[in-house]
Structure 1
Amino acid sequence: MTKIEPARFLDKKSQPHTFTLVVLASISAMAMNIFLPSLPSMANHFNTSTATLGLTVGIYLAASAIIGIFVGPISDLYGRRPVVLVSLAIFIVSSVWCIYAPTVFWLLTARVFQACGAVTIVLSRAVIRDTTEANLAGSKIGYVTMGMALVPMVAPGIGGFIDAYLSWEYNFWALTLAGIITFGLVYLDLGETALDRSSSIFEQFRDYPTLLKSRRFWAYSVTSGLGAGAFFAYLGGAPYVASEVFYLPPEKLGVFFGAPAIGYFVGNFLAGRYSTQVGIDPMISIGMLINVSGLLLSIALSMLGFGSEWTFFGTMTLVGLGNGISLPNANAGLLSINPKLAGTASGLGGSIMIGLGSILSAMAGILLDGSNTEIPLISLMLISAFLGLLCTFYVIKRNNDLRI
């Protein structure tokens, strides 16, 4: 852990303020979902289908996963601050690129570069690990992601109204403005926290086998990946369900779409409040059980003929609640395996999680293509969450074995 003076806002010689970390972690979430209510309008503009434009989510997630593999070692070598600033500059330029993309191909290409914004959430966790004791990291990550959860809670609603009263392009102008504000905030408030850095990039990549050979690292990473995978499948499929199954207009789609974020916000508060007392592994278990329970309730209601936008999106708050409790603790668990490799572990663990998410997001689009029911999406989410719960049990068993 790096010893840096307590946080003073807009003083980069001290620890970064919690507000800065929240904003830093939020930009990626905002880029992921503010424009989703606009997919039908964008489909008309580019003369393609909503399902095809759903690839804007999968492409973004896949690119984020690949970038995450490299960003951890690079930030451990060159420092968190310069890597964050460069990634935000690329994010700003690519957001403008999305607006003026002439075809779907160029839009998807711009989204690949826009995925540089995902660096911010990876490195915000690494910054916390740099400056916080391991047993307190889960709590602090929980509070930061609680603040971050406000963005996906309100962004789709804002995006829906922007689409209804302006046009889809203004959602990407909003992302451009958010990128500029975040860049300025980071420049003024975030000093360098990775003071004990490696001498070469090759040394950093040599550390990957150390993590990849750790069964605990894999257990925590896959647990978070499958738990979050349910939400990523939701991102890939919910716009279709809302517009093609429940026939919601963009502004209502945006309001309903933010339902999981309400639960995630509450879950993050509970993680921040109780993780230190309860412990990382029990909190992961509680979160995953809530995740699975919410999806079982959702599919039961739909199969019994009670499915509606209210039951579908309402039960998604339980998915958000479970992830809000489990994910901060799973992230803290994988970062604690080797504190000297916090940046590498954050990047690699994030890549595994987002890589699984991109696959599930794409699968959701494939399963729903031509469907007139929400059940295929809920089923996919339930399978992902249940497998994540099984991984949680393995995490607990492995940690208990190591204590013997």
Structure 2
Amino acid sequence: MNRTRTPPHLITLILLTGFSPMSLNMFLPSLANIAVDLETDYSTVSWAVSGYLAITAIIQLIIGPLSDRIGRRRVLLVALLVFAFASAGCTFAPNIEAFLFCRMLQGSIIGGYALSLAIVRDTRTEREAVSLIGYIGMAMAIAPMVGPMLGGVLDTFFGWRSVFGFYAAAGFGLLLLCWFDLGETRPQRATDTSTPAPGTTALIREPLFWAYALCSTLSVGAFYIFLTGAPLVAQSTFNVTTAELGLYIGTITVGFMIGGFLAGRVGQHFEPTTIMIAGRVVACTGLAGGLLLLASGITSAELFFASTIFVGLGNGITMPGSNAGAMSVRPDLAGSAAGLSGALIVSGGAVLTTVTGNLVPQTNGGQTLLMLMLAASGLAMAFAVWAAWLRKKGGYPARSSDPSL
């Protein structure tokens, strides 16, 4: 059976996944200018970040199952069209109400990330998907570093509206690219209208899916904990400058890129759960080492942030396996799995950032920060081990090794 029809090129998948984080952070340098220009306060305009994150979680819960029912191509094209017009709306917004309304609609771009993962699983075996997602993640990690820099340059020379003009142009460009390059990749059996499409409830009743999804959520959660606590710890404990802090924060992203490359290289040769556990061991080992250094009285900023690099490295190794595994539990529901996993990651990140903000003390918070990161990474390892046990117990992947099943 022919499982796919004109699957997209790798560059298309990279652009779709990479533009999602850029839509979140590229305009961050402009927040203050937006508040001044639209005559509002900073706390109100900050809803463009917090509200946007909440909307993307909801959108993923809708887009994933919808793509399982009517196809990846149609859903993705509509999502890109909405994003492009919403970006144009932000560009010409006359007031904060119109701006925030259009900004929320921009959340549809998250479909580019979620559905790209589903498309990879549609067109590859499970192990091949691990490898490809690793390479895509490696390239995607560049976007969070480049986005704010590009946004800052555009704002400086052309004003904040030019950033959203760039979003609009890129949105229409991606729409055109996908129109010509992306065919329908949903498994053929799912297009059979003689039988009802299985619901998302069939997926959430699978313990194996939750093992994969919660491993992803807590792995990324350790990164959210780091982003929340690192600025405070860097200033209060190590007295580093903001420029140095930016460099230290960037190192965890470099670690993620390296981890993604390693997963891409070895993903086809090992079980996804083996890759996941290896990534968790890397993350936990680095954090444990950092805690031992602090306990021995060593408080060097370089050594502290060297230990947090292992979180990025471990996540880069783990995430391709956990993503591919979650979508392989029910390949006919790969879109739902990608959407639900993504929503859990965003929601979990929101919870963990709140917890971190309340628990990390104003002074000498380095040990608390590393302990919180280690707790999240350790729980993620427990779920990875659980996934391995469930696979062995249930005879997986014989049940669904073929995406067409």
Normalised by the size of structure 2, how large is the TM-score?
A: 0.81
In 1: Cα distance, 2:290 partner to 2:59 partner = 34
Counterpart residue type for residue 242 of structure 2: L
Aligned to 1:9: none
Q: Secondary structure at the match of 2:184?
A: coil
Aligned to 1:8: none
In 2: Cα distance, 1:396 partner to 1:336 partner = 14
Deviation of 1:378 after TM superposition, in Å, equals 4.6
Aligned to 1:154: 146
Assess if the C-alpha contact under 8 Å between 1:2 and 1:131 holds in 2. Answer: no
Deviation of 1:184 after TM superposition, in Å, equals 2.0
Which of the residues 141, 159, 181 maps onto 1:189? 181
Which of the residues 238, 242, 251 maps onto 1:248? 242
Q: Does 1:319 align with 2:297?
A: no
In 2: Cα distance, 1:367 partner to 1:387 partner = 18
In 2: Cα distance, 1:168 partner to 1:120 partner = 24
Assess if the C-alpha contact under 8 Å between 2:65 and 2:200 holds in 1. Answer: no
Aligned to 1:10: none
Task: Assess, with a 3 A threshold, how the Cα gap between structure 1 residues 398 and 194 changes in structure 2: closer, same or farther.
Answer: closer
In 1: Cα distance, 2:262 partner to 2:136 partner = 12
Counterpart residue type for residue 276 of structure 2: I
Higher mean alpha-carbon deviation, 331-340 vs 352-361, is at 352-361
In 2: Cα distance, 1:377 partner to 1:56 partner = 27
Deviation of 1:185 after TM superposition, in Å, equals 1.4
In 1: Cα distance, 2:48 partner to 2:358 partner = 14
Aligned to 1:306: 299
Task: Assess, with a 3 A threshold, how the Cα gap between structure 1 residues 212 and 378 changes in structure 2: closer, same or farther.
Answer: same
Task: Assess, with a 3 A threshold, how the Cα gap between structure 1 residues 176 and 364 changes in structure 2: closer, same or farther.
Answer: farther
Q: Does 1:120 align with 2:112?
A: yes
Q: Does 1:33 align with 2:13?
A: no
Superposed, 1:78-93 pairs within 5 Å as: 78-93=70-85
Residues 143-169 of structure 1: per-residue CA shift (max 9 Å, x gap): 222222222233234345556666555
Q: Does 1:47 align with 2:58?
A: no
Task: Assess, with a 3 A threshold, how the Cα gap between structure 1 residues 35 and 300 changes in structure 2: closer, same or farther.
Answer: farther
Assess if the C-alpha contact under 8 Å between 1:221 and 1:352 holds in 2. Answer: yes
In 1: Cα distance, 2:372 partner to 2:166 partner = 32
Aligned residue pairs, count: 388
Higher mean alpha-carbon deviation, 180-189 vs 163-172, is at 163-172
Which of the residues 131, 137, 142 maps onto 2:134? 142
Assess if the C-alpha contact under 8 Å between 1:27 and 1:179 holds in 2. Answer: no
Identity of aligned residues (%): 35
Q: Secondary structure at the match of 1:192?
A: coil
Task: Assess, with a 3 A threshold, how the Cα gap between structure 1 residues 372 and 87 changes in structure 2: closer, same or farther.
Answer: farther
Task: Assess, with a 3 A threshold, how the Cα gap between structure 1 residues 199 and 285 changes in structure 2: closer, same or farther.
Answer: same
Q: Secondary structure at the match of 1:258?
A: helix
Higher mean alpha-carbon deviation, 258-267 vs 113-122, is at 258-267
Assess if the C-alpha contact under 8 Å between 2:32 and 2:42 holds in 1. Answer: no
In 2: Cα distance, 1:96 partner to 1:364 partner = 36
Taking only aligned residues, the RMSD between alpha carbons, in angstroms, comes to 3.5
In structure 2, the gaps of 5 or more residues are 397-405
Aligned to 1:352: 344
Specify the structure having the higher radius of gyration (Cα): 2
Normalised by the size of structure 1, how large is the TM-score?
A: 0.81
In 2: Cα distance, 1:211 partner to 1:153 partner = 35
In 2: Cα distance, 1:109 partner to 1:300 partner = 48
In 1: Cα distance, 2:146 partner to 2:307 partner = 18
